[in-house]
Amino acid sequence: MLLQGKRLLVTGVVSTKSIAYAAARLALDEGAEIVLTGFGRGLRITERLGEMLGCEVLEMDVTQPEQVEAVVARIDEKWGALDGVLHAVAFAPAAALDGGFLTAPWEDVATAMHVSTYSFAAVGREFGPLLAKAGGGSIVGLDFDAAFVWPGYDWMGVAKAGLESCSRYLAHALGPAGTRVNLIAAGPLRTVAASAIKSFEVFENVWQERAPLGWDDTDATAVGRAICALWSDWLPAVTGEVIHVDGGVHAVGGALPKAAPAAEIPAPALEIAAVR
């Protein structure tokens, strides 16, 4: 049981297809106790999914300090400490996506940065003392590789770049208390968040053409397993990392197609490879 006795807080469970749902389901299978959070119109959905999983659900909008503080107080009352957090929260108004990079007003850009970037640090700050009580614990956030421009991603791409930097600074700030802070850069998945990006097919095509291991954009299990690994005690010296769970696309040059299976490589080429 990889997570036996671990006490975890999971944000972002808004459908059975979400990464957060996959992580929560797998963590429960591995022995963890979990509290979910939701807010706004999605809270009712999170509550229904919480009933399915057998988890308590609390209201928490990460941009509302009083709600975050209330959840901290409830977790302190319930468990007295916390072993892990999943920050699975991101949002950008429509004007900041799909070609809106040069036209989005500051108000919309500010919203994207507040929800998708600053809130990661805020969650780390507020839950840090509870994690310290458990010996440090592990904060995991969700990323999408910010090293490149992705058509239509626009200000969300900028926010994710900020998230990567924020994660490193948070790892530095919370490290003395033993808290590990890492991001998972997942390949594209057909989640609620993905439905907001009109150019999502571009992402799908890139992964179909270039992922050395292949990629199933309907199954978040691989990402959920990586999150559970980071929550566990098996990676005690890993912090400030962006771990790619994307079928290998991040490692492949932009112009390179996926390699042909060995059976399709001419025999002489295989012989040369063997000699080398």
pLDDT tens digits for range 194-222: 666 667 777 788 888 899 999 999 999 99
Report the half-sphere exposure of 269 (CA within 13 A, side-chain side).
Answer: 7
Lowest mean pLDDT among 26-40, 56-70, 121-135, 253-267: 253-267
How much is the average pLDDT of 89-99?
Answer: 94
Contact between 95 and 70 under an 8 Å Cβ cutoff? The reply is: no
CA nearest neighbour of 174 among 207, 136, 144, 208: 136
Active-site residue 160, yes or no?
yes
Domains in the chain, please, with CATH? 7-275 (3.40.50.720)
Is the per-residue pLDDT at 146 higher than 70? yes
pLDDT bracket for residue 258 (50, 70, 90): low
Lowest mean pLDDT among 60-64, 103-107, 182-186, 249-253: 249-253
How much is the average pLDDT of 257-264?
Answer: 52
pLDDT bracket for residue 234 (50, 70, 90): very high
Task: Give Rg (Cα) of the chain.
Answer: 20
How much is the average pLDDT of 14-35?
Answer: 97
Which residue among 6, 153, 198, 258 is the active-site one? 153
Structure tokens at 1: 């049981």
What pLDDT, on a 0 to 100 scale, did the predictor assign at position 195? 64
Which residue among 17, 21, 160, 258 is the active-site one? 160
Q: Which helix (H) or strand (E) holds 154?
A: helix 154-174
How much is the average pLDDT of 118-128?
Answer: 98
**Average pLDDT value over all residues in the chain:** 90
CA distances to 4, 113, 214, 252 from 95, rounded to whole Å, are 44, 14, 32, 31
Residues 6+ apart with CB under 8 A from 204: 188, 217
Provide the Cα torsion 185, 190, 196, 198; round to 10°: 100
pLDDT bracket for residue 150 (50, 70, 90): confident
Own/partner long-range contacts of 145-152 (Cβ < 8 Å, ≥24 apart): 145/185, 145/242, 145/244, 145/246, 145/249, 145/250, 147/250, 148/254, 150/202, 150/203, 151/199, 151/202, 152/97, 152/98, 152/99, 152/197, 152/198, 152/199, 152/200, 152/202
Lowest mean pLDDT among 130-134, 151-155, 170-174, 234-238: 151-155
How much is the average pLDDT of 71-96?
Answer: 97
Active-site residue 169, yes or no?
no
